[in-house]
Structure 1
Amino acid sequence: MTETFETIRYTADVVCVRDGAVLLIERGWPPHKGQLALPGGHVDPGETSRAAAARELLEETGVGVDPWDMELIGIYDAPERDPRGRYVTAAYLVTVPTGITAQAGDDAAAVRWVPLSDAHGLAFDHTDIVTAARYRQNSPF
């Protein structure tokens, strides 16, 4: 019997909410260049997904949060969720106070606060992640 191995990449994404809106980035490069997506990215060696989520949120949007203020939404691991190959993400939810501003950084071409009612058609499976966050008990939505 021949064994086959699959490369799996580990990432973290963040649903960051403020006043009924979710913070989204405009992707600066493929895949899904120009599409709106959640802030997120690769988990670095020696890093937890929670720490990576907070780091990526800060790098891509300038919004700093304590990693322990984030709540795990779930693990997303559908084999076809990313056209680049197998990506498994830990998705987190965090609420930030009114008045928090964001600005594009790292691989984000732009950032925007989007009302929940308009947070659909996002890159990857991010619409599903936002939907799951909405239905969490004690969700800010």
Structure 2
Amino acid sequence: MTQELLTDAPNAASVALVRDGKVLLIKRAYAPYQHLWTLPGGRLEPDETIEQCAIREIAEEIGVTIRNPRPVMVQSLGRDLAFRLAVFVTTDFTGKIIASDEVADHKWVEPTALISFRTTSRLDDVLAKAFAVLAQS
């Protein structure tokens, strides 16, 4: 894990699942970020590492098992910047997408198509960094 992730003490995680050059976006069903397209993820639970949070949240939200989440960045979100979101990327996942009630919709999207979606703030920058991490491997 990078030093950036260790010092920022993230309290939430999201994951860019990438397949064939496309990323899985979900449309949030509830606040915060209701009706916005974003990456799946959620809040850290007590006694869990941020990687465990990422793995659990993906399983809970979309029914997919991820492996080898690679750190991308940490960003502060929310009106009072209360969320310190650790973003991960992986191409290593299995299972059929079965969206929870937290997810209004989901789509595989080419990053260049983001302009046609109402997304969370700076999602294009986040995805550019995620794809850069993948390109380093």
Query: Does the alignment reach a TM-score above 0.5?
Result: yes
Find the aligned partners of 1:82 and 1:127 in 2 and give their Cα distance. Answer: 17
Q: Which residues of structure 2 form unaligned runs of 5+?
A: 1-8
Aligned length: 127
Instruction: Compute the RMSD of aligned alpha carbons.
Output: 2.4
| CA pair 107-84 structure 1, distance change in 2 beyond 3 A | farther
> In the alignment, residue 117 of structure 1 is paired with which amino acid?
T
Equivalent position of 1:127 in the other structure: 124
> In the alignment, residue 124 of structure 2 is paired with which amino acid?
T
Deviations along 1:62-111, whole A, 9 cap, x unmatched? 11112xx111001113xxx32364210111010046x8642311411122
- Whether 1:72 aligns to 2:68 is no
Deviations along 1:36-58, whole A, 9 cap, x unmatched? 11001101000011111111111
Equivalent position of 1:45 in the other structure: 46
Greater helix share, 1 or 2?
A: 2
Find the aligned partners of 1:128 and 1:136 in 2 and give their Cα distance. Answer: 13
Query: Match of 1:128, SS?
Result: helix
Per the normalisation by structure 1, the TM-score is: 0.77
| CA pair 139-33 structure 1, distance change in 2 beyond 3 A | farther
Find the aligned partners of 1:137 and 1:112 in 2 and give their Cα distance. Answer: 20
Find the aligned partners of 1:135 and 1:34 in 2 and give their Cα distance. Answer: 27
In percent, how many aligned pairs have the same letter? 28
Q: Which protein shows a greater Rg?
A: 1
- Offset of residue 112 of structure 1: 1.4
Query: Match of 1:113, SS?
Result: strand
Find the aligned partners of 2:96 and 2:124 in 1 and give their Cα distance. Answer: 22
Give the stretch that moved more between structures: 26-35 or 10-19: 26-35
Contact kept? 1:9, 1:86, Cα under 8 Å: no
Find the aligned partners of 2:95 and 2:110 in 1 and give their Cα distance. Answer: 15
Per the normalisation by structure 2, the TM-score is: 0.79
Equivalent position of 1:89 in the other structure: 85
Query: Match of 1:136, SS?
Result: helix
Equivalent position of 1:4 in the other structure: none
Q: Which residues of structure 1 form unaligned runs of 5+?
A: 1-7
Could you list the structure 1 runs, at least 4 aligned residues long, displaced by more than 3 angstroms after superposition: none
